[in-house]
């Protein structure tokens, strides 16, 4: 296999296919009201679709980890117009802020309607995850059901086409963006919720916690500042 072909195979197999699976996992977590897991799986979905786009376009990005803002900026800086809707941009910013912290280092919140936002984000990003030039990118239009975009060999397509696939029902449940039939209405489940990180409540213990577990440097700096301000305010 030639190098160019291998890089394409790697992008599809290791990024797009896994993103498809993360997307279904995120929908399962949302329905089960596992909110932290929903945010994390949503971040993984977006992250891998973006990394797939970067690799397919041969844009070097070896240092981009879970930073969605860096990935989006990298795509834009290389002249790729994703044409993301404001709702998708806002959703990406939300999961970028709260989804990457899997151990509740920060205080996440969630609200109703995020499942639709995830579906929209996956639909908008995934259509760019194809080998070769994207000649015409289908756009969303207000009040019009999302067009059906099928990718050759896609994991989601295989799930949708197999009535016996156990992932099919979780994928299609209240999904207005993916499915073999046009849905003009979906029910918006979910309510507002939030939870405080223990470090947010007790930042004065940041140094002790850092002796036992690995914490991001930015997190430690933020809580050190919070602890300092708390002491000064007494």
What confidence score (pLDDT) does residue 137 get? 63
pTM, to two decimals: 0.91
What mean pLDDT do residues 105-129 have? 93
pLDDT above 90 (res 180)? no
DSSP per position, the chain: --HHHHHHHHIIIIIIHHHHHHHHHHHHHHHTT-HHHHHHHHHHHHHHHHHHHHHHTT---TT-SS-HHHHHHHHHHTT------HHHHHHHHHHHHHTT-TT-SS--EE-TTHHHHHHHHHHHHHTT-SSS---------TTSPPPP---TT-HHHHHHH-TT-TTHHHHHTT-SSSSSS--S--------EE---HHHH-GGGHHHHHTTS---HHHHHHHHHHHHHHHHT-
What confidence score (pLDDT) does residue 132 get? 79
What mean pLDDT do residues 12-41 have? 96
The whole-angstrom separation of Cα 131 and Cα 114 is 30
Cβ contact 116:186 at 8 Å: yes
What confidence score (pLDDT) does residue 191 get? 73
What is the average pLDDT value for the chain, to the nearest integer?
91
Cβ contact 30:114 at 8 Å: yes
């Amino acid at each position: 296999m030639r190098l160019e072909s291998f890089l394409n195979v790697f992008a599809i197999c290791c990024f797009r296919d896994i993103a498809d699976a993360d997307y279904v996992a995120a929908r399962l977590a949302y329905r089960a009201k596992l909110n932290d897991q929903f945010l994390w799986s949503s971040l993984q979905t977006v992250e891998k679709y973006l990394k797939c786009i970067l690799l397919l376009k041969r844009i070097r990005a070896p240092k981009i980890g879970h930073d969605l803002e860096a990935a989006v900026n990298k795509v834009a800086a290389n002249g790729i117009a994703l044409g993301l809707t404001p709702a998708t941009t806002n959703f990406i910013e939300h999961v970028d802020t709260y989804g990457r912290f899997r151990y509740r280092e920060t205080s996440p919140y969630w609200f109703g309607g995020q499942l639709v936002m995830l579906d929209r984000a996956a639909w908008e990003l995934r259509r760019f995850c194809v080998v070769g030039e994207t000649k015409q990118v289908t756009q969303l239009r207000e009040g019009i059901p999302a067009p059906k975009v099928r990718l050759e060999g896609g994991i989601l397509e295989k799930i949708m086409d197999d009535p016996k696939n156990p992932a099919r029902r979780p994928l299609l449940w209240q999904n207005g963006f993916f499915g073999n039939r046009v849905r003009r209405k979906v029910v918006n489940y979910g309510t507002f919720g939030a939870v405080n990180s223990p470090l947010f409540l007790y930042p004065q213990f940041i140094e002790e916690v850092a002796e036992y577990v690995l914490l991001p440097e930015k997190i430690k700096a933020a809580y050190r500042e919070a602890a300092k301000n708390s002491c000064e305010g007494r």
